[in-house]
Chains A and B, each alone.
Chain A
């Protein structure tokens, strides 16, 4: 069993003439249109930049300032990624393969940083220590927020790693350390590297943390130069350079992970390994875990509580309720648009294996490679010059969310549809139902939970989105994220608290629903 197995376990049967009763050609066309629409922000940015003239573009790209920005952004991304890998592997190993006290609880705790948006973490630290700023503070906050991206996949690999591999290595003459290095590490490394590259990618496109901590990386400079100057060519060129850097990380991550595969827990019941006895190291290890998660989880949570209690007098309840309403409305619109774009692409990817289908599916890639700042900037340009009707509308903001989180939506549609064998539709047809009735009575009930789950994840992620929201929200509309941002920027930490807490709580609702859906699917 290779370490990374594709989520789609079996190849589709020979390509059929029709899918869900739709003839091949129309589905391809609809999916291609959806992919084209999703690529508009990138395409328009390229058009806009090339309008500026190549000599001008070249001046900006090769300027010393751009070089410094690139060094800062890439340096921060790599530093955060490496730290997360070291911490993440250690934590994953402690919670899966040793006799650390309360191992199961620790595994849950290790995932908790995911529940707190990274700029909320930055906000809590700033509220406690308002003098915090610069590269080291940014690095620290990003590490606190990002370790789960390494811990979770590595722990998953370690948990299903067959312990007999280690035994065999020992019988072949290796000492315990050498056996671990040669039999276990190579299996864990792809997961850790892939997680690390994802961390690097998130750090590269992170806007809230570096802006709050006043560290000038690409994202912050793009945003400030968009706000500050009439000539927005610089912002556009820098945004494209950022895309290029992001693409490098995305490609590297794919290379490490292998084609079309995802981490997953294996069906085969892994033998339970004898946990390693930490002996005298048991309590120091426990202390280290407590210390780390006190900083990463306990501190931000406690700080939120404190700030909430302290800041009560300054809160305008009406404003707060309006922000919740706008957040749900905007991210809901985003989830809806994402679904509309993702359904044709996901169904096509699940049922067709031809080259056109995989080319169309690769727009999912866009969401990873386009930072929120870039999408926001491109759509601002588009709104001002081509579609003033759409500028600063809910639809435009929703569209930005849809592009940013399209890959999640496509992934959920694709895997849901792929789990319905085409033979079920065949049987339905022979039982006297036409294609549409067959689809609605068999395929739809089977795929609906999975697709709904995907929409919920998009909703959850979009609620936390900051840069595109700042740039594209309709005038006068504030979401939880922008309210938090505005208040924190002017050091009104107490007034920001209710927004930060609601953001964490709201984000937890879809997570709970998801967990229940997953549980029900496992039973059924």
Chain B
């Protein structure tokens, strides 16, 4: 049974519609990222699931129980969910233990056992008596996650919880936090505008645009087989090439075969790491190119090369590269280009 099931969800603020029929399924114990640019409606979706915003139409079920539908509205405190807002939103008047134990029933002693357990789960053991103001941003996020997990929710809703953290800290906090949620057996809905975060940490990715989910799938599907040019550009760097029509009507580009849903008016898309440079003149096939610039990033290199027709495309190589600006080379693609509209 799905942890979250959203059907035909519509949301409007006044007469401004922000969600136009969103469908989404989050499986049990899975992490689903909702990825989209700011203003696409992803936070509204999360707030409806949490019970903090009433939709104009649509249905939401949590673990098979309908919580939103015509005439049905389950209040947030009755849904088995936990929420981690941006920047944590810890209660400033309570210490760490008070925050984590806020929603727990029972005596002080019963609470303190569970609080200690939760703090250990997020790597914050022993900090119960600290004040939120004494914690770094990453520590605050960990406490916020412990608080969200306190009542053993079926679903944890994360609203861009890592975007305020330093780049160096972000990966570590994210990995620990998602591990804690997984260890607890809860499903997670992670709202983010960071494609790297969505692709690297989620089991499923739903790409949202203008109030609808345009594509949903495993991260590799979304990256490797985007449904349209917009999704392709949003989830990663694109090499876009014009289509050439063969005599037999099949599509190709200057770098080889092309196929996909875009049709003959579409654009051929490749990823920079799918392109290979080789020595010129060795009789090899591929398009003759000249290297324009080389940007060295340590773990990889990004080269700009120019095709005979003047198109500049990006090529990624692992580690360092022998190529220098001005060198001539041959360029081939390891996979057929995707034709997208």
User: Closest residue of chain B to A14, judged by CB?
Assistant: B13
A17 — which chain B residues lie within 8 A by C-beta? 53-54
Contact A434 B91 (CB under 8 A): no
**Chain A residue at smallest Cβ distance from B101:** A431
Q: Is A505 interfacial (CB 8 A cutoff)?
A: no
Q: Given contacts A423-B89, A424-B91, A442-B91, are A430 and B75 in contact (CB under 8 A)?
A: no
A contact residues around B221 at 8 Å (CB): none
A433: contacting residue among B47, B103, B133, CB under 8 A = B103
Query: From residue A290, how far is it (CB to closest CB) to chain B in Å?
Result: 43
Instruction: Check if A427 is an interface residue, CB within 8 A of chain B.
Output: yes
CA of A15 to CA of B103 in the docked complex: distance in angstroms?
26
**Chain A residues with CB under 8 A of B89:** 421, 423-424, 426-427
Q: Which of B51, B91, B131 interacts with A430 by CB under 8 Å?
A: B51
Tell me if A163 is interfacial: C-beta within 8 Å of chain B. no
Cβ contacts B1-34/A at 8 Å (1 or 0 each): 0000000000001000000000000000000000
Cβ of A301 within 8 Å of any chain B Cβ, yes or no, is no
Task: Enumerate chain A residues within 8 angstroms of B81, measured Cβ to Cβ.
Answer: 430
Which residues of chain A from 96 to 111 have a CB within 8 Å of any chain B CB?
Answer: none
User: CB within 8 Å of A: which of B73-129?
Assistant: 75-77, 79, 81-83, 85-86, 89, 91-93, 102-103
Q: How far is the CB of B186 from chain A (nearest CB, A)?
A: 13
Quick one: which of A397-430 are within 8 Å of B by CB?
421, 423-424, 426-430
How many Å from the CB of B45 to the closest CB on chain A? 14
**Taking the nearest CB of chain B, how far is it from the CB of A357, in angstroms?**
15
Knowing A423-B89, A424-B89, A426-B52, say if A434 contacts B77 (CB, 8 Å): yes
Nearest Cβ in chain B — how far from A351, in angstroms?
A: 14
A477 contacts across to B, CB distance below 8 A:
none
Task: List, in ascending order, chain A residues with CB within 8 A of B222's CB.
Answer: none
Task: Determine whether A318 belongs to the interface, using a CB cutoff of 8 Å to chain B.
Answer: no
In the assembled complex, A432 has its CB within 8 A of some CB on chain B:
yes
Interface flags for B224-257 (1: CB within 8 Å of A; 0: not) read 0000000000000000000000000000000000
- Residues of B292-314 whose CB lies within 8 A of A: none
CB neighbors of A among B137-157 (8 A): 147-148, 150-151, 157
Cross-chain contact B91 with A429 (CB below 8 angstroms): no
Cβ contacts under 8 Å, A424 to chain B: 89, 91
Q: Which of B52, B92, B93, B150 contacts A429 (CB 8 A)?
A: B52
The CA of A431 and the CA of B79, in the complex, are separated in Å by 9
Residues of A within 8 A of B54 (CB): 17
Interchain CA distance A431-B100 in the complex, whole Å: 10
- Among B77, B92, B150, contact of A446 (Cβ-Cβ < 8 Å): B92
Q: Which residues of A contact B131 (CB under 8 A)?
A: 524
Task: Tell whether, in the assembled complex, residue B85 and residue A427 are in contact, meaning their CB atoms are under 8 Å apart.
Answer: yes
Chain B residues whose C-beta falls within 8 Å of the C-beta of A16 in the assembled complex: 53
A259 within 8 A of B: no
Return the chain A residue nearest B148 by Cβ: A430
Per the bound structure, the CA–CA distance linking A30 and B195 in Å amounts to 47
Q: Answer whether residue B50 sits at the interface, using C-beta atoms and an 8 A cutoff.
A: yes
Number of cross-chain contacts by CB at 8 Å:
66
Query: Whose C-beta in chain A lies nearest to the C-beta of B103?
Result: A431
Contact indicator per residue, chain A 463-476, by CB within 8 Å of chain B (1) or not (0): 00000000000000
Q: How far is the CB of A321 from chain B (nearest CB, A)?
A: 39
Whether a CB of chain B sits under 8 angstroms from the CB of A445 is yes
Beta-carbon nearest neighbor of A448 in chain B: B93
Q: How far is the CA of A431 from the CA of B86 in the complex (A)?
A: 17
- Which residues of A are found within 8 Å of B148, using beta-carbon distances? 430
Please judge, given known A-B contacts A421-B89, A423-B89, A445-B93, whether A430 and B13 are in contact too, CB under 8 Å.
Answer: no
Q: Which of B50, B89, B148, B157 is packed against the most chain A CB atoms within 10 Å?
A: B89
In the assembly, what is the distance between CA of A16 and CA of B48, in Å? 12
Q: Across the interface, which residues of B come within 8 angstroms of A432, CB to CB?
A: 77, 103, 151
Instruction: A185 to B157: give the CA distance in the assembly, Å.
Output: 52
Assess the B75–A434 pair: CB atoms within 8 A: yes
Q: How far is the CB of B94 from chain A (nearest CB, A)?
A: 9
Within 8 A of A (CB), among B27-61: 47, 50-54
A352 vs chain B, min Cβ distance (A): 14
A431's partner among B92, B133, B151 (CB-CB below 8 A) is: B151
Known contacts A14-B13, A423-B89: does B79 contact A430 (CB below 8 Å)?
yes
Distance of A431 Cα from B77 Cα, bound (Å): 6
Q: When chains A and B are docked, how far (Å) is the Cα of A273 from the Cα of B147?
A: 46
Smallest CB gap from A427: residue in B: B89
Q: Assuming A424-B91, A442-B91, is B83 touching A430 (CB within 8 A)?
A: yes
Asked whether, in the complex, the Cβ of A429 is within 8 Å of the Cβ of B85, the reply is no
Which residues from B are CB-within-8-Å of A446? 91-93
Q: Are B85 and A423 in contact (CB under 8 A)?
A: yes
Which B residues lie within 8 Å of A442 (CB)?
Answer: 91, 93
> Chain B's nearest CB lies how many Å from the CB of A332?
27
The smallest beta-carbon distance between A25 and chain B, in angstroms, is 15
A429-B13 CB under 8 A given contacts A424-B89, A446-B93, A524-B92:
no
Interface residues of A in 432-462 (CB under 8 A from B): 432-434, 441-442, 445-446
The residues of A that contact B52 with a CB separation of less than 8 Å are: 426, 429-430
- Residue in B76, B103, B148, B157 whose Cβ sees the most chain A Cβ within 10 Å: B76
From known contacts A17-B54, A424-B89, A524-B92, infer whether A429 and B102 are also in contact, taking CB-CB under 8 Å: no
Q: Which residue of chain A has the shortest Cβ distance to B159 in the bound complex?
A: A423
Q: Are B92 and A430 in contact (CB under 8 A)?
A: no
Q: Which residues on B sit within 8 Å (CB–CB) of A430?
A: 50-52, 76-77, 79, 81-83, 148, 157
- Closest chain-A Cβ to B240's Cβ sits at a distance in Å of 36
Complex Cα gap A524–B151 (Å): 28
Report the separation of the CA atoms of residues A428 and B151 in the bound assembly, to the nearest whole angstrom: 12
Contact B77 A426 (CB under 8 A): no
A429 to B93, CA, bound (A): 17
Residues of A with C-beta under 8 A to B86: 423
CB of B253 to closest CB in A, whole Å: 45
Q: Which residues of A contact B51 (CB under 8 A)?
A: 429-430
Return chain B residues, CB-CB under 8 Å to A423: 85-86, 89
Shortest Cβ distance from A429 into B: residue: B76
- Inter-chain contacts of A421 with B (CB < 8 A): 89
Of A421, A431, A446, most B-chain CB atoms within 10 Å: A431
Q: What are 13 A-to-B residue pairs whose CB atoms are below 8 Å?
A: A17-B54, A428-B102, A429-B76, A430-B77, A430-B79, A430-B81, A431-B82, A431-B147, A433-B77, A434-B77, A441-B102, A446-B92, A446-B93
Other contacts beyond A426-B76, A430-B81, A446-B91: 9, CB < 8 A: A15-B13, A16-B53, A423-B85, A426-B47, A426-B50, A426-B52, A428-B91, A428-B102, A431-B77
- Top-4 shortest CB links A-B: A431-B103, A429-B76, A423-B89, A430-B83
